[in-house]
Amino acid sequence: MHWRDVPFNQGVLQVRYPLQQGGVLGEPKTAKGRRQIDLPLLSVEALQRHRSQQPKDRMEAGVSWVDSDFVFTNAVGKYIDPDNLRHRSFGPLLRRAGLPQIRFNDLRHTAATLLIRLDTKPKIVQELLGHSQIGVTMDVYSHILPTMQREAMNNLDKLLRA
């Protein structure tokens, strides 16, 4: 993701070209993969703080800095190697927070699960994730539906008894 894909004044990010193996920008897997995602204010604020830090990182790197315009970079401005991200940053962060070791992609699953638990319409979750069909979203996240089904039936019961 490039900084030009994060118009702060709109509170969104544009998903245009996913980073693929070897730091190559590619096309999304499906047409739905190219999308705009509304961000919570907390995320916008975190991105703004991160952006204000990057000039300091650039100065520290000196002539080694590569001006890639990537939002998240390594110490010299290049894309972050996924293995380095997992082992040097993400894993230690999880340990410090006392959280279980999970795959980086599990963050995406966690966000979707939380949104569904918050009664976000599955169609919205599908659009956020960039799934081409609602069936993909529902199949992947069907593990949380049994408790939601009980809640729905309890709510229906209350409505019918009123």
Q: Convert the pLDDT of each residue in 78-134 to its tens digit.
A: 988 888 888 888 889 999 999 998 888 888 888 888 888 888 898 999 988 888 888
Q: Distance (Å, rounded) from C-alpha 99 to C-alpha 142?
A: 24
Phi, psi for residue 10 in degrees, rounded to 5: -100, -15
Question: What does pTM read for this prediction?
Answer: 0.75
Tokens at 80, concatenated: 């972050």
Decide if 127 contacts 33 (C-beta within 8 A).
Answer: no
Decide if 38 contacts 11 (C-beta within 8 A).
Answer: yes
Compute how many other C-beta atoms are within 10 angstroms of the C-beta atom of residue 130: 20
